Structure formats: structure tokens, C-alpha cells
Chains A and B, each alone.
Chain A
Amino acid sequence: MSTHAIDVDVLRETGQGIATEEMTLNMGPQHPSTHGVLRFVVKADGEVMRRAIPDIGYLHRSIEKIAEKVGYHGFMPYTDRVDYVSAMQCNQGWAMACEALAGIKVPRRGEYCRVIASEFGRLASHLLSVGATGMDIGAVTPFTHAIREREYINDILEELCGARLTFNYMRIGGCAWDLPPGFVGRATKFLDRFEPLIDEYNELISFNKIYVERLANVAVIPREMAIAYNLVGPNLRGSGVKYDVRKDAPYSVYPEFEFDVPVGTGERGTLGDSYDRYMVRMREMKESCKILRQALAGIPEGPVVAKVPRTFRPPVGEAYVRVEASRGDMGWFVVSDGTAFPYRVHIRTGSFAAMAIIEELSKGLMIADLVAVIATLDIVAPEVDR
């Protein structure tokens, strides 16, 4: 599979290397490059992993159980905590699931506000991801560049909803607040500044030889494997599958916007390697900017939220909706029994699948590559555990 994968047994049989024995190492739960609290049991032979077994649950906050206790409106702030790096899309997923249950139509301005918020959220999330990828494999400076821009985006989102991380911006039927005065101008100004910086960032790190060497050909995920493990979002597209929920199962007002779906090409190594996954995120930021410009320019007048009763009692039934979150297709399954409290909520996230694939993927990789794998799969631990 991966050209970097090393078969220890072959090495030993051919008389290369020295006699080693299998070690069991513990990595985490508190480890600087595990992006949250998660743990790996690494079975290693020298520097080569035979297997890295993920052990999750350290950030299990029983969000699905909480949903059954707090009601439909009350659950919105909790959805922020599902993926706190990219909370807007979690808000949107929950709101859309409830709207699907009750057949509520969101006003057009509300949908535009959602798209604007979601795409800024995606930019912020991808910036953290690509910045942290550099940091995890030893390039610390690029992270500060990425975080600097992310702070500007946090400022913009703070203007929108008063929070910088856990937004609680969306409501069942629309959004909590309209855009503040002058928002469109300031957001456009930011995009004018930010778009050239993506190219600058590429010059700074993406094409750096050492950086490319650390990611290209590492942890190759073939197309079939990606689909069978239900990898989603940039991880799936990195393996060459051109599928984006915004494009292929459109929701909200996404069909009104022109944008491309970047996929991995194996430009520096093999299709589906870590570098492809990384570059898909870099390119997606440009596409998000495109969507943002169109949404900001074309935002219609009108209300941002539909009239929804304060005690929300959707009819008996179930709904499964998917949104394209920053870590890909996020599935929200909600069962209603006709009362004011959801009967069952299940959130299927991108990081959960990305975590599940690591055990298979890690076979034969170097220990040092494990952090590159975690980083380019963009795993956010709270999203795994919920």
C-alpha cells in the first residue's frame, strides 16, 4: 500500500536491521499532538508500528443523552460542543434535523446567514487544521500565521453572535440574529485580505520540500477503503472521491452558488496520501471564499427566522439529515415521539470514522508518522466521543 510502509518481517528475513522485539507503548491521553484527549496503544517494533489501537471515550460527555432531557430548543448550545472547532455546522445540522421533522421552512435571508456563518466556520476550522498539521510534524511558525487569520474570523463571528467558539447562533427555523450593520463590508474586506494569504501560506509551507516529504506517500487511503470506512469530507475527497454534500445532496441555498469540489490528485505522491488530504483543505478554503463572496453580495432582505412555537413538539417520526461540516458529512438522526423532548438523537461525525480507520492504516507506518496521520485526518477528539 503505502510506499513508506515498512514490513519488519521482510527486513529481518533479508538480514537488514538488527534484532528487535515488539514493544507496547502508550500515547496519550494527554499528548500535545493528539488534538484533544485521546489515546493510542502502539504496538511497535523499533520505530515501526505494527498496529496503533485507538482508545476513545475520554471526552464522552453523553451529548446524545442530554438531548433527551433538555428539549429541542434547549439542545442547541450543546450541539456547539459536538465539534467545538467548527460549531456552526453542528448548529445547522441540529436545526435542519428539527426542521425536517416538523416541516419548517427557513426564510431565505436566514439561509443566507447560515451559509455565511457556516463557511466562515469552515475557514476557521481548516485554518486550525492546516496550521496544526505543520506544528505536529515540527514546523511551528506556520501555525501562528494560520491562527492569526483564524482570530480575525473569530472576530467576525463574534460580531455575528457574540461568541468566538461555541456560537449557539442558529435556531430551529433560522438564525438568532440578523447581520449587524456594516457586516457585509467588513466581511468582504477580510476576504480581500485573506484570499492572497492562502497563496502566501502555500508558498510558506505547502510546497516546502521537508513538509512534502513528511506527508507525501504517507498513510495512503485507496478510494474503496475510504468509502468502506465511511470516511467523509476532505478525507474522502483526498482519496479522489468527488462527493460533497453541499453539491451532491444539496441543502440550504448552496445550489445557488458557484463553487468547485477539490479532490486529491496524488500530485506529490500517491492518490489518497496525507499530502492530498492536506491540500484538499487548502483548496477548499478558496472555494469557501468564493461561496462567501456570492452570499455576501446576494443576501436578500427579509426575516432571518421563521415563526416556531416556543414549546416545540414535532410530530411522531424520524429524520436523518446530513450537513457538510468541516470534517465532512455529519449525520443527524433524531427520533420524535411527539413530546417536547427528542426520543433519541444520534450524531454520526466525520472524526469518528477517521479514528476508526487508524488501526488499519497504521500498520507498517513509522511512529513519527502517526501524528501526521492524526493531523491530516483532522481528528477532533470531542467529535469522536460526543
Chain B
Amino acid sequence: MTVAEIHRLLRERLGTIVSDELKPGDWPVCEVRGQSIAEVCAILRDEPGIAFDCLSNLTAVDRKAADTIEVYYHLFSYAHGHRLVLRASTPRPDPILPTVTHLWPIADWLEREAFDLLGVRFTGHPDLRRILMPEDWVGHPLRKDFVEPDEYHGISTRRESLLKL
């Protein structure tokens, strides 16, 4: 099955949940309604002719101007060699998406990373907590409006230039 055929199948089954447009490229991109992302992923993984058995990457991007957070799911199939990118948007003030950990176990850590650095909450995630930043860190550093705190536990994060000392 080609990626265009996969896209058509998704459109037939799910209607407007999946965008009409498939952006061509090495990794074709299609837009998916955020709240249905797990449902779409389940079809993509389990349909025999499609069989996206691998979640190659999951990245969240802060689109401050549009007041949304986009999450990219890069799907790859070892069985067939095809690739597809799903892009799901969620409102920036309260970003919530369903988890896909039950489909691909690697999503556990990737979603934790997206939660840690951009504050996306994945409903149904078994253990959603910070992964890279300290547990008591305030804020999500890859948000575009993140302001670095002046100090952390009494340690200053500011430093004079070595040339000025």
C-alpha cells in the first residue's frame, strides 16, 4: 500500500478526523484531530497492509503565534518500509492528547519528554512525570515564553562574562 492509499483509507474510515491534504515528501505529513490521535494510530498499527510497527519519533512543537502545541508522530513500518507523519494540534493553554503508549511502548518515554519540556499532558499515560529536568523544576523549558529562573536551590543561573571578571 502506498502512503496515498493509506491516507485515502483513513479518510474513508474516519472522515474529517484526518485532513484532506497529504503534504508530500520523504516523510509525508497529514493533520489529525488531536483527540482522535490514538484511534488513528491504532488503525495504522493494526491494519495488516499498513502495519506501522514502529513509532520512530515523537516531537512537540510550541506554535505560540497560533496558540497551539503541535505534536508530530513519525511512523515507520519495518514490515513494508513506508513512512507517515501525523500532526496533532492541541490548545496551548491546556494541551491534552490521548496517549499512544499502549500501541508502542517507546511512546512512554517520548511522551514523558514532551510533557517535561513542553507541558503536553497525555491522558492515559501510565506514569507521566518529568524525565530530563529535575522533579521540582517549574515550567517547561522548550515553551517559547519560558523564562529561565534566576536561581535554582540557591544556585545562581546568572554569570558575569569571564572577560569582565
Contacts and interface: CB of A to CB of B under 8 A. Distances in A.
Contacts of A353: 106, 109
Given A65-B141, A320-B57, A230 B78 contact: no
A360 B105 CA distance: 10
A64 interface: yes
B93 interface: no
Contacts of B110: 348
Q: Chain B contact residues (Cβ within 8 angstroms of A): what range?
A: 20 to 34
B142 interface: yes
Contact of A385 (B85, B130, B132): B132
A228 B54 contact: yes
B81 A230 contact: no
A241 B78 contact: yes
A343 interface: yes
Interface string A349-373: 0001101110010000000000000
Contact of A344 (B27, B78, B109, B142): B142
Interface in A254-270: none
Contact of B109 (A320, A329, A352): A352
Interface in A316-336: 318, 320-322, 329, 331, 333, 335
A248 interface: yes
Given A228-B54, A230-B104, A360-B105, A56 B142 contact: no
B59 A62 contact: no
B131 interface: yes
Nearest to A57: B132
Given A333-B57, A346-B57, A348-B57, A228 B104 contact: yes
B54 A227 contact: yes
A198 B147 CA distance: 52
A247 to B, nearest CB: 12
Q: Chain A contact residues (Cβ within 8 angstroms of B): what range?
A: 35 or more
Nearest to B78: A227
B109 A333 contact: no
A60 interface: yes
A356 B54 contact: no
B133 interface: yes
B55 interface: yes
Contacts of B117: 64
Given A57-B131, A248-B81, A333 B54 contact: no
A241 B77 CA distance: 12
B72 A333 contact: yes
B56 A230 contact: yes
A177 B35 CA distance: 50
A62 B141 contact: yes
B129 to A, nearest CB: 11
Nearest to B55: A230
A144 to B, nearest CB: 35
Given A57-B132, A333-B59, A343-B61, A230 B54 contact: yes
Contacts of B131: 56-57
B134 interface: yes
Contacts of B57: 320, 331, 333, 346, 348
Interface string B125-163: 000001111100000011000000000000000000000
Contact of B132 (A60, A321, A344): A60
A171 B132 CA distance: 29
A228 B53 contact: yes
Contacts of B31: none
A320 B27 contact: yes
Given A320-B57, A333-B57, A343-B61, A228 B105 contact: yes
Contacts of A386: 132
A228 B41 CA distance: 13
Interface string A122-159: 00000000000000000000000000000000000000
Contact of B74 (A224, A229, A331, A335): A331
Contacts of B81: 248
Given A57-B134, A228-B105, A344-B62, A320 B53 contact: no
A51 to B, nearest CB: 13
- The 9 residue pairs across chains A and B that have the minimum distance between CB atoms: A346-B59, A230-B106, A57-B132, A60-B132, A356-B109, A348-B57, A344-B61, A331-B57, A229-B106
5 contacts: A57-B131, A57-B133, A230-B104, A353-B109, A360-B105
Interface of B: 26-27, 29, 53-57, 59, 61-62, 72, 74, 78, 81, 85, 104-106, 108-110, 117, 130-134, 141-142
